Structure 1
Amino acid sequence: MSDVPATVDVLVVGGGSAGAVLAARLSQDPARTVLLLEAGRVYAADAYPPALLDADRIADPDHDWGYTSRGTDQAPQLPTPRGKVLGGSSAVNACVALRARAADFAKWGEHGVEGWSYDDVLPAFKLLENTPTGDDAYHGRSGPLAIRQRADSELTPSLRGFVEASVAHGFKRVHDFNGAEQNGADGYPVDVVDGVRQNVGLVYLTAEVRRRPNLTIRGDVNIDRVLFDGTTATGVLAADGTEYRGREVILCGGAYGSPAILLRSGIGPAADLTELGIPVVADLPVGQRLQDQVGYYNAYALAPGHLEMTPAVGSLLWTASSEAVGDELDLHVTATHLMDGSFSPTGGAIVLMAALVQPESTGTLKLASRDPGEAPLIDGNFLGTGRDARRMLEGVKLGRAIARNPVFSPFFAAELAPGDTVTDDEALSRVIAANPAIYGHPTSSVPMGGPGDPWAVVDSIGAVKGVSGLRVADASIIPEVPSSTTNVTVIMVAERIYERVYAS
């Protein structure tokens, strides 16, 4: 890593699942100077601490932004983990490596974006992946990100029992969620090798990549705002007053960080900016269509004799609710051991988390103030429609029914949450609304869209409308939250934008 040039060709803000990918790809051209600025710590590729390498540990407090958000009226302040380290949330997540489905990309197309159909993105998914299993038509063998399908022999007895109980309940065994079919149950695909989380800071920003003389990486640099000459981006201003100059700026701060930087830069709803005394550069609906997936933790004490909890992740049932539209698969029921066994009277626990992964509710992200050190105001607006509340209830009831299937019931000693006393739909609905869980896949706060989309902030290749020299490339530009976890799809978004804009 060299000293920072006075002006670089491309300045990338945020070294998470998109920014690390773009920095690695952009610096492949030795004639292009690239500066990557990360708000968190930058560890050497061989010096990540054990807490970030251990795939069974998530949301490490030493590498977190400390955000909270509103979930529902009954849950106004939920912890909202986001990774703050080179690697971003890929360094602290549950390592689930699910791709978005073809039906998800069809929804993106309804917003007028071009180049994001399933046929368009499949080559990028294959390019980023190395996996030894699955059909060659869907999978890559030599990409940076190692993805491994959990085999039955790797799953704990209770995780395997959840899959078998789902099949006994009438669902298919899928075998490969990243292949032709997703409707059914199996172990997860994960980006884990020998128990080690394969975050993007490790696999894209390798020691060899970091030695490139045209790539500079700086950590502990929190960005306040983008600098403009008129409506042309010329660089960024850090919270400590340092200016960094670039001929082009790419924001990769994620679904919370990127919109917050844009708003402080004068790009957002004009009335909100004026109220905070921020000069308006472009009046755009930044932060107005935030989406995330709501969940509920249905927890069980493992039965004595079945207390194994490694690996923690896990198994999945991916299916459609009774109110799903078309070929939507809008429900996940996940089985993991991410709950500490000390909370269980038997010393072992399993959580069947139901999640509504195709919500119609949208939330918002706004600034609390102009201070870059103050967290944004995040409102997930979970269960904001009656249909969302009904489908969420259906998912929780499905998980509880599978738990009570004779195939799975021998694996647990007691239901810890919500507990056997909660039996009717009305009571269960109240419990869900009061105890929502964040699935942790926020998108759509800076959404892509065509000329006819009133919510669009960026175009189909991430260029911010109404200005020049500024692009956003991360989860925030996804126009509709996909029905999957999002990490692999965000990596794909970065690969695709690099290919479409910079590779030629």
Structure 2
Amino acid sequence: MSHSVEPADVLIVGGGSAGAVLAARLSENPDRRVVLLEAGPDYGPTRFPESLLDANRIADLDHDWGYISRGGRLSPEVAALRGKVIGGSSAVNAGAALRARARDFDRWAESGLDDWSFADVLPYFRDLENTPTGEDEFHGRSGPMPVRQLADSQLTPAHRGFIDAAVALGHKRIADFNGAEQGGVGAFAVNVLDGVRQNTALVYLTPEVRARPNLTVHGGVTVDRVLFRGTSATGVLTADGTAHHADEVILSGGTYGSAAILLRSGIGPAGELAPLGIEPLADLPVGQHLQDHPFCPAVYALAPGQAEMTPALGALLWTASSEAADGELDLNVVAVHPNGAPFMPPGGVIALSTALVLPDAQGTVRLTDRDPLSQPLIDHNYLGTERDRRRMLEGVRIARDLARDPALAPSLAGLLMPRELPHEDEQLTRVIESGLSIYGHPTSTAPMGTADSPRAVVDSRGAVHGLDALRVVDASIIPYVPSSVTNLTTIMLAERIAHLVYAH
């Protein structure tokens, strides 16, 4: 074991949607030495490749962890795309800038996190964004993250046809999904400026921030596990055997990555760790409550003369299934041009994709062995309950009806993938279950909760229960997957914990 030369006050593992925010905020105190370790390349604020900056290119396999997961019963292998680069998945995602809903935070509060209500988090959502539109009550004008509401004039003809079709089918037109209401159809808000995807490394780890003498950023460093003295974290060991020492460690490796590091560190279900030769340190339900949004893409060819594909991200229908609880919106139908996305047919296309955004089913993240370079075993257990299957079926039927509506149908030249969307429920369910992919919003492998909660791994500030000097701050600590894309909510989490714990 070699020793690192730069002991830190706080060592942050992972420079993605949470880690880049934490590095920027915690290094605002010049007396706090902050070291950030990122497994992917660190491009700095000025050397990002075009493929990562171009918001109309979705996903980049050159900057991907390569995770393969079990999807569901008829989807045994689903690529679980995650960004492996400074900025994390915020550098490769579609740029959707939508918050979790107030109703989502009510559920956090009901599970004992009584200071995570929407009223508690709204100031942080406002503080992180700069946007010229929307109501002052909901929006920030001077934060680091540029958020822009797409105007109808910026959408493609197919996006506009999708919105018109949803309105014709009785859905309300929503002007701002980050405002007072979300139930209906409208254009996305995006963290895109002049076609450039604004990832957290670009907007938080600016040249000024990186010039701070108390902040060090290392790219290309894969972390194996956390080092301990007794029950206190003292640093981390990297995959090449280097020890980095610190007074405190924060894991921001993402829902899969942070869970794997915790498990290799002896933090997890004791019965699973011992057979792998890992000495259990804290018997906690790490990786036992994985949630993500099952996603069913239906890709259509665009009609001649309708082949405009920019912007990629366009419009959203956010609605409730017939089985949704009061106030819940459990279905998304998204209209996106999947430019550059892997596994998509070439040519002018639009995907009308359905997601079940409040699933009941939970999956798992486990280890196959203790090697830090081995893939974790990810089982999303998509549509793992009858109720989930019924609601997803309802959502796909809605998407199919939209495609047939006279407002949208003239833009479409036929279904490419899957080959058909059968009318009969049982056949359609089989098509759905065999064609699932990820929406890319995994959460809850190290959920926040009270010390007596059987689900909880960390407390309401991300501190791991029963251990000292170790926090987890990223989407893994979200207690239940929200009914929305997760990027802004993850940034908010990092902003809020940075403020509540470290701003002194």
- Same fold by TM-score, threshold 0.5 exceeded? yes
Could you tell me how far apart the structure 1 residues matched to 2:313 and 2:487 are?
A: 15
Match of 1:432 in 2: 432
Could you tell me how far apart the structure 2 residues matched to 1:421 and 1:118 are?
A: 38
Could you tell me how far apart the structure 2 residues matched to 1:263 and 1:65 are?
A: 18
Match of 2:247 in 1: 247
Q: Which amino acid aligns with 2:374?
A: E
Across the two proteins, how many residue pairs are aligned to each other? 501
- Checking the alignment, whether the CA contact within 8 Å between 2:400 and 2:421 is kept in structure 1 is no
Match of 1:112 in 2: 112
Could you tell me how far apart the structure 2 residues matched to 1:272 and 1:171 are?
A: 47
Deviations 1:122-147 (A, max 9, x none): 00000100000000000000000000
Query: Secondary structure in 2 aligned to 1:459?
Result: coil
Could you tell me how far apart the structure 1 residues matched to 2:469 and 2:488 are?
A: 27
Match of 2:299 in 1: 299
Could you tell me how far apart the structure 1 residues matched to 2:214 and 2:44 are?
A: 18
Match of 2:13 in 1: 13
Determine whether 1:468 maps to 2:463.
Answer: no
Deviations 1:399-438 (A, max 9, x none): 1101111111111111223345722111110011111111
Match of 1:334 in 2: 334
Match of 1:237 in 2: 237
Could you tell me how far apart the structure 2 residues matched to 1:116 and 1:185 are?
A: 27
- Checking the alignment, whether the CA contact within 8 Å between 2:443 and 2:478 is kept in structure 1 is yes
Indicate how the Cα distance of structure 1 residues 420 and 38 shifts in structure 2: closer, same or farther if over 3 A, else same: closer
The alpha-carbon deviation at position 385 of structure 1 amounts to 0.2
Could you tell me how far apart the structure 1 residues matched to 2:106 and 2:203 are?
A: 30
Match of 1:22 in 2: 22
Match of 2:192 in 1: 192
The alpha-carbon deviation at position 343 of structure 1 amounts to 6.3
TM-score by length of 1: 0.98
Could you tell me how far apart the structure 2 residues matched to 1:82 and 1:315 are?
A: 23
Match of 1:172 in 2: 172
- Checking the alignment, whether the CA contact within 8 Å between 1:8 and 1:34 is kept in structure 2 is yes
Indicate how the Cα distance of structure 1 residues 421 and 311 shifts in structure 2: closer, same or farther if over 3 A, else same: closer
Match of 1:122 in 2: 122
Query: Secondary structure in 1 aligned to 2:316?
Result: strand
Match of 2:66 in 1: 66
The alpha-carbon deviation at position 246 of structure 1 amounts to 0.6
Match of 2:283 in 1: 283
Match of 1:274 in 2: 274
The alpha-carbon deviation at position 164 of structure 1 amounts to 1.0
- Checking the alignment, whether the CA contact within 8 Å between 1:112 and 1:452 is kept in structure 2 is no
The alpha-carbon deviation at position 236 of structure 1 amounts to 0.2
Match of 2:155 in 1: 155
Query: Secondary structure in 1 aligned to 2:245?
Result: strand
The alpha-carbon deviation at position 68 of structure 1 amounts to 0.5
Q: Which amino acid aligns with 2:17?
A: S
Q: Which amino acid aligns with 2:183?
A: N
Query: Secondary structure in 1 aligned to 2:351?
Result: strand
Which structure 1 residue ranges, 5 or more long, are not aligned?
none
- Checking the alignment, whether the CA contact within 8 Å between 1:365 and 1:378 is kept in structure 2 is yes
- Checking the alignment, whether the CA contact within 8 Å between 1:17 and 1:88 is kept in structure 2 is yes
Indicate how the Cα distance of structure 1 residues 245 and 353 shifts in structure 2: closer, same or farther if over 3 A, else same: same
Could you tell me how far apart the structure 1 residues matched to 2:175 and 2:344 are?
A: 32
Deviations 1:267-288 (A, max 9, x none): 0000111010101110100000
Query: Secondary structure in 2 aligned to 1:62?
Result: helix
The alpha-carbon deviation at position 340 of structure 1 amounts to 6.0
Could you tell me how far apart the structure 1 residues matched to 2:339 and 2:40 are?
A: 26
Deviations 1:32-54 (A, max 9, x none): 11000000100021110001000
Which structure 2 residue ranges, 5 or more long, are not aligned?
none
Query: Secondary structure in 2 aligned to 1:208?
Result: helix
Could you tell me how far apart the structure 1 residues matched to 2:434 and 2:332 are?
A: 20
The alpha-carbon deviation at position 73 of structure 1 amounts to 2.3
Deviations 1:375-403 (A, max 9, x none): 10000000000000000000000011011
The alpha-carbon deviation at position 76 of structure 1 amounts to 1.0
Could you tell me how far apart the structure 2 residues matched to 1:45 and 1:99 are?
A: 25
Could you tell me how far apart the structure 1 residues matched to 2:426 and 2:337 are?
A: 28
Q: Which amino acid aligns with 1:60?
A: D
Determine whether 1:492 maps to 2:487.
Answer: no
Query: Secondary structure in 2 aligned to 1:387?
Result: helix
- Checking the alignment, whether the CA contact within 8 Å between 1:97 and 1:191 is kept in structure 2 is yes
Q: Which amino acid aligns with 1:437?
A: S
Q: Which amino acid aligns with 1:47?
A: R
- Checking the alignment, whether the CA contact within 8 Å between 2:338 and 2:344 is kept in structure 1 is no
Could you tell me how far apart the structure 1 residues matched to 2:96 and 2:6 are?
A: 40
Q: How does 1:336-415 map to 2 (within 5 A)?
A: 336-338=336-338, 347-415=347-415
| Farther-moved stretch of structure 1 (407-416 vs 153-162) | 407-416
Q: Which amino acid aligns with 1:300?
A: Y
Q: Which amino acid aligns with 2:448?
A: M
- Checking the alignment, whether the CA contact within 8 Å between 1:296 and 1:355 is kept in structure 2 is yes
- Checking the alignment, whether the CA contact within 8 Å between 1:339 and 1:350 is kept in structure 2 is no
Match of 1:448 in 2: 448
Query: Secondary structure in 2 aligned to 1:445?
Result: coil
- Checking the alignment, whether the CA contact within 8 Å between 1:22 and 1:495 is kept in structure 2 is yes
Match of 2:37 in 1: 37
Query: Secondary structure in 1 aligned to 2:431?
Result: helix
Could you tell me how far apart the structure 2 residues matched to 1:293 and 1:392 are?
A: 10
Query: Secondary structure in 1 aligned to 2:317?
Result: strand
- Checking the alignment, whether the CA contact within 8 Å between 1:18 and 1:474 is kept in structure 2 is yes
- Checking the alignment, whether the CA contact within 8 Å between 1:112 and 1:451 is kept in structure 2 is no
Match of 2:259 in 1: 259
Q: Which amino acid aligns with 2:434?
A: A
Identity rate, percent: 61
Deviations 1:341-360 (A, max 9, x none): 99669x31111000000000
Query: Secondary structure in 2 aligned to 1:180?
Result: coil
Q: Which amino acid aligns with 2:501?
A: V
- Checking the alignment, whether the CA contact within 8 Å between 2:52 and 2:92 is kept in structure 1 is yes
Indicate how the Cα distance of structure 1 residues 372 and 420 shifts in structure 2: closer, same or farther if over 3 A, else same: closer
Could you tell me how far apart the structure 2 residues matched to 1:430 and 1:344 are?
A: 22
- Checking the alignment, whether the CA contact within 8 Å between 1:339 and 1:351 is kept in structure 2 is no
The alpha-carbon deviation at position 56 of structure 1 amounts to 1.1
Q: Which amino acid aligns with 1:231?
A: T
Could you tell me how far apart the structure 1 residues matched to 2:64 and 2:438 are?
A: 15
Q: Which amino acid aligns with 1:311?
A: P
| Farther-moved stretch of structure 1 (144-153 vs 446-455) | 446-455
Indicate how the Cα distance of structure 1 residues 7 and 344 shifts in structure 2: closer, same or farther if over 3 A, else same: closer
Q: Which amino acid aligns with 1:18?
A: A
Indicate how the Cα distance of structure 1 residues 340 and 91 shifts in structure 2: closer, same or farther if over 3 A, else same: closer
TM-score by length of 2: 0.98
- Checking the alignment, whether the CA contact within 8 Å between 2:308 and 2:348 is kept in structure 1 is yes
